[in-house]
Amino acid sequence: MILQSSIRKVYFGVADRRQMYRLFDRHAARPNRWQGDDSALFAGEWFELGRAEHDHMLELLPPLWMRGEMFALGEFLTGSVTSVFYTLRIDGRTRHFHAYCDLAQAGSPVETRDAIVERESRPVEAMTHAERLEHIWSATHDAYRGYAGERFPALHRGKRTVLVYCAGRTELKLLQDLTDEEIAAKLPVHLRHLTLPAAA
């Protein structure tokens, strides 16, 4: 029930070392961890990180391969999904990114690179509804996020949940069901003003 797909930005801002390690396994508390192939859950997730974090990962383990502006880790997360790190020149600035790529899919690292460049080259700063939800999930502390269990109808079990403050009390709510007001309250102040793109 936790399947995802597509190439997607999961965090806004530049992740420091602590944030980077948290983002590596945003789904650590998922139900039935290790009982199946979670490749679809991770493949396509990407975020920006600092140069120091990028270089730290390059020095930590020997890369599986290095190609131009990217390198892949030889240690796989799940199935054929591994970390790919990028150094990209976007709008005259050198920036660094991490993405999970499924190496069983030919061209996955290049396709992901192209999606990152396209997303980060947009002239107007904006966040899609899906990106807002992904950022909230990424930025919420583990104690305040989880997965729908027995209290939820069977069709919602396993979906992501977050605690929200509502009518003077906290309530566990499906991430996908957050209202615009709840989303705004959970986003950092500097991200609340970003517009929703007309098409994304």
Query: For residue range 66-107, what is the model confidence (pLDDT) as tens digits?
Result: 998 999 998 878 778 999 999 999 989 999 999 999 998 889
**Reported confidence tier of residue 200, pLDDT bands at 50, 70, 90:** very low
- Beta strand 8-15 with 81-90: parallel, antiparallel or unpaired? unpaired
Amino acid symbol at 56: H
CA distance 200 to 32: 32
Query: For residue range 25-57, what is the model confidence (pLDDT) as tens digits?
Result: 888 777 776 666 677 778 899 999 999 999 999
The boundaries of the domain holding residue 157 are: 129-192
Query: For residue range 131-186, what is the model confidence (pLDDT) as tens digits?
Result: 889 888 888 888 888 888 888 888 898 888 898 887 778 888 899 989 888 888 88
Q: How many domains does the chain have?
A: 2
- Closest to 120 measured CA to CA, from 98, 93, 90, 99: 90
Report pTM: 0.83
Query: Under a CB-based contact definition with an 8 Å cutoff, are residues 164 and 178 in contact?
Result: yes
Residue 137 shares a structural domain with residue 99: no
Residue 29 shares a structural domain with residue 75: yes
Query: Under a CB-based contact definition with an 8 Å cutoff, are residues 117 and 86 in contact?
Result: no
Do the domain assignments include residue 98? yes
- Share the mean pLDDT of the chain: 84
